[in-house]
Amino acid sequence: MSIEYDKIHYKKDKISVREVLNEQISLLIKDFFKHARIPARYLPDIVLEEIAFQFLDLIAEAYVEVEDKEFVLTYYKRQESVQEVRRLWNALVLFAIVQNENLIKQYAIHKNIRVEIDPLSMLLTCNVANKKLAVQKFEECLYKTGKEDYELPYPLAYSEKHAYELYEDVFHELEIRKIKEISRVWESKKYKQMFEEYENLNLRGFDRIETGYLIKDIYSNFDKLLRELPRTYKHTSKGVWHEMARERMLRMKYSICYEPSDTSFAYYKLVRDAFEFDIEINEYPVEELKECIGNVSNLEKYNARSICSSSFNTSFEMKFPLYSHIWYLLNLEMWNRCDVRKPILDMEYI
Q: Is residue 170 predicted with pLDDT exceeding 50?
A: yes
How many other C-beta atoms are found inside a 10 Å radius of the C-beta of residue 35? 9
CB 31 within 8 A of CB 23: no
Q: Determine the pLDDT at residue 8.
A: 47
Measured from the Cβ of residue 181, the count of other Cβ atoms closer than 10 Å reads 13
pLDDT given for residue 242 in this prediction: 83
Phi and psi torsions of 119, nearest 5°: -60, -35
pLDDT at 190 over 90: yes
In angstroms, the CA 213 to CA 114 distance is 40
Strand partners of residue 280:
255
**Looking at 42-46, 93-97, 169-173, 241-245, which range is the least confident one?**
241-245
The string of pLDDT tens digits covering residues 105-154 is 888 888 888 889 999 999 999 899 999 999 999 999 999 887 677 788 88
* pLDDT tens digit sequence for 257-293: 998 888 888 899 999 999 999 999 988 888 888 877 7
Which DSSP string do the residues of 29-57 spell out, in sequence order?
HHHHHHH----GGGS-HHHHHHHHHHHHH
pLDDT value, residue 298: 76
Percent with pLDDT over 70 in the chain: 92
> Over 50: is that where the pLDDT of 90 sits?
yes
> With bands split at pLDDT 50, 70 and 90, how would you rate the model's confidence at 7?
very low
Close Cβ partners of 14 (under 8 Å, ≥ 6 residues apart): none
pLDDT at 147: 65
Q: What is the pLDDT of residue 92?
A: 95
Across the chain, mean pLDDT equals 87
What percent of the chain is predicted at pLDDT more than 90? 54
* H or E element at residue 91: helix 82-99
Digit-coded pLDDT (tens) for 192-214: 999 999 899 887 766 778 889 99
Q: Helices 321-338 and 215-241: crossing angle, nearest 10°?
A: 40
Please report which confidence band the pLDDT of residue 11 belongs to, taking 50, 70 and 90 as the band edges.
low
Strands 156-158, 115-117: pairing kind: parallel
pLDDT digits (tens, 9 = 90+) for 233-265: 999 999 998 877 778 889 999 999 998 888 888
pLDDT of 45 higher than 90: yes
Residue 66 DSSP code:
G
What distance in Å separates the CA atoms of residue 286 and residue 283, rounded to the nearest whole number? 9
Q: Where are the domains of the chain?
A: 41-183, 216-338
Task: Note the pLDDT tens digit of each residue in 75-86.
Answer: 999 999 999 999
pLDDT of residue 341: 60
The answer to whether the CB of 258 falls within 8 A of the CB of 270 is no
- Residue 61: its pLDDT value, please? 96
- 209 touches 266 (CB < 8 A): no
pLDDT, mean of residues 170-188: 97
Cα distances (angstroms) measured from residue 228 to each of 173, 281, 321: 20, 12, 11
State residue 327's pLDDT score.
93
Enter the pTM of the model.
0.89
**Amino acid identity at 324:** S
Model pLDDT, residue 2: 39
- Is 50 exceeded by the pLDDT of residue 302? yes
